[in-house]
Amino acid sequence: MKKALPLVLALLVPMSAVTPGGVGAASTPAPAGTGGAVASGDPLATAAGLAILRGGGNAVDAAVATALALAVVYPEAGNLGGGGFALVRMGGELSALDFRETAPARARPDMYLDAQGKPVENASLVGPLAAGVPGSPAGLWELQRRFGRLPWPKVVEPARRLAADGFRVGRYLHDGLGREENRKLLLRFPESARVWLPNGEPPALGSVLRQPDLAATLGRYAEHGPQGVVTGAVAAAVEKASRAHGGVLTAADLAAYKPAWRQPLTAEAFGWKLASMPLPSSGGVILGQTLGMLEKLGWEKLPRFSADRDHLLAEVFRHAFADRFLLGDPATTKATEAQLLAPAWIARRAAEIDLRHATASAQVQSWPGATAAAAVSGSTETTHLSVVDRDGNLVALTTTLNGLFGCGLWVPGAGFFLNNEMDDFATAPGRPNLFGLIQGEANAVGPGKRMLSSMSPVIAWKGEEAYALGGRGGSRIPTHTIAVLLNLLVDHDPLQAALDRPRLHHQWLPDRLEAEPDALAPETGAELERRGHTLQVSTTTAKVHAVHRLPGGRVEAASDPRGSGSGGVVDPDP
């Protein structure tokens, strides 16, 4: 513990720097409407989804078109070379599609360790050795095949056109490419630098960026489905680029990948029904445990913005993330969702919580390394989109390359980045991943395994009213998505206000409570410190995008003001 102190202190901002409030700056809500709504991390992608809804597509058609558009205009996280989860409610029926990456056939538990068994720096983050087998090509196709209404090529076309005709480089992409850590990553690979840092700099702001390789890949995808990407010239290009840079990913891995339909997790809390993602997402378990414990402890009756409420939320997050340590691929997990979501287990965990004092994380779980503090990077990768159509069908879809621009390798001849999702495995005992998460043996690397994720798409409904939401942001995805849900379901905030409000985050290890600026009034912060919480003011957050179907059938969309996204509706109210 002593050893970790300087790091923790360096990251702390004194509580005197926190301005009072608990409400945050309000952004202007978008108008509601009737024809469907889309919220995503980029306005061009939202527009692609809305165009599909206008053209007669349903929520799934629009979600897939939006996801593919993100692969073009939002290359840091939108992808063909990554994977994700989709939670859908079609005609009232719930389904969950897991198109998470898998470890390549040649992956081994010690592949990121040196001869002495020590982690090799950056080996699971940079370059194609860090890449899992992409799940997006087969996953997005499978989703649309099962539930979509439009012909497949129509759904791919908006993205193909954006890649072929180009789009104007906006401030967000321009600045992201120019940031030192991203520049350094992309400059390691001549192929990536050629496209994204011509002459060593990002494409000029406002210039038109065309991606002919990606347009050709999307053309093949439109014509042949996933076979156009995971076999033939595109798959060969992936294998060649991977080999050239020390990776183990092969064309055979790509061809063998299969998405999996899974049974969504369901729960009831605060008078609402909820659906979330099962393993290999940890998000659904964290959501179910958190809401279950909060309800058991009477959280909703405590005054809003009070130290009592914030203390309880932090403690519940701490306990839920401690259980996350046990989770992994459904085939190798040390605890099942059924065990961790059993009412008796939730009651036992809730009973461990001291309502007046923070419990040290080391005491919440018996793992011997639990006193070690781990650095949490400022990374907030991944991207999320939410869609509702005029019939009330809902999609919450989160997709990722893991780190920004994945492993940094842009595959020439294919036109997309490969992910660095292998870092979401426990790549070495006790080593925190990109998000500072300490993970257990259940999540060790193994060929064909899916790495544990924090992506947390959620659908909540009560009668005719419903929400679909989720976010980007690594380990903060579950906590920030839950915070927004509580604003909506318990405190009945308007949609945009629920996203605007500052949020808290605790992930068990490191043992500290992150608060966005304005999240805590000074007296609340001081009281939380008195109770034993180590506070850190943090501007590193998740970005949550949500849609809402109101009773009566009108719809609205909202995107997180912390990011570059947008929400829109078809047929807005006059």
Cβ at position 56, least distance to ligand GLY in Å: 33
Nearer to ligand GLY, 453 or 536 (CB): 453
**Beta pairing class for 535-537 and 513-515:** parallel
Which span sits near ligand GLY by CB under 6 A: 23-31, 439-447, 452-460, 537-545?
452-460
Structure tokens given for 101: 């990456």
> Binding residue for ligand GLY (CB under 6 A) from 276, 386, 453, 538?
453
Nearer to ligand GLY, 228 or 288 (CB): 288
**Residue 424 within binding range of ligand GLY, rule CB under 6 A:** yes
> At which residue do the structure tokens 């006059």 appear?
574
Beta bridge pairs of residue 549: 466, 555
**Residue 173 within binding range of ligand GLY, rule CB under 6 A:** no
E strand or H helix that includes residue 383:
strand 383-389
Amino acid identity at 366? S
Q: In angstroms, rounded to a whole number, what is the distance separating the alpha carbons of residues 407 and 134?
A: 12
Which residues in 383-402 contact ligand GLY (CB under 6 A)? 400, 402
Which span sits near ligand GLY by CB under 6 A: 140-148, 319-327, 441-449, 453-461?
453-461
How many helices (H) and strands (E) are present in the chain, helices listed first?
20, 20
Task: Give CB contacts under 8 A, 24+ apart, made by 500-504.
Answer: 500/24, 500/25, 500/26, 500/27, 500/561, 501/22, 501/23, 501/24, 502/21, 502/22, 502/23, 502/24, 503/479, 503/541, 503/542, 504/310, 504/313, 504/314, 504/317, 504/479
The contact pattern for ligand GLY, residues 126-165, with x = CB under 6 A and - = no contact, is ----------------------------------------
Q: What is the DSSP string of 441-456?
A: GGGB--TTPBPPB---
Structure tokens given for 121: 């720096």
Catalytic member of 290, 382, 383, 479:
382
Q: In angstroms, rounded to a whole number, what is the distance separating the alpha carbons of residues 203 and 423?
A: 29
Which span sits near ligand GLY by CB under 6 A: 141-149, 304-312, 323-331, 449-457?
449-457
Amino acid identity at 446? G
**Residue 456 within binding range of ligand GLY, rule CB under 6 A:** no
Nearer to ligand GLY, 125 or 520 (CB): 125
Q: How far is CA 282 from CA 5, 205, 214, in A?
A: 29, 38, 32
Nearer to ligand GLY, 40 or 124 (CB): 124
Which span sits near ligand GLY by CB under 6 A: 30-38, 231-239, 254-262, 448-456?
448-456
> Binding residue for ligand GLY (CB under 6 A) from 57, 226, 474, 567?
474
**Residue 217 within binding range of ligand GLY, rule CB under 6 A:** no
Q: How many residues bind ligand GLY (CB under 6 A)?
A: 9
Q: What is the CA radius of gyration of the chain?
A: 22
Q: Specify whether 46 is catalytic.
A: no
What is the number of the residue whose Cβ is closest to ligand GLY? 453
Cβ at position 422, least distance to ligand GLY in Å: 10
**Residue 454 within binding range of ligand GLY, rule CB under 6 A:** yes
Please report, as ranges, the residues that interact with ligand GLY according to CB under 6 A: 382, 400, 402, 421, 424, 453-455, 474
Give the residue numbers marked as catalytic: 382
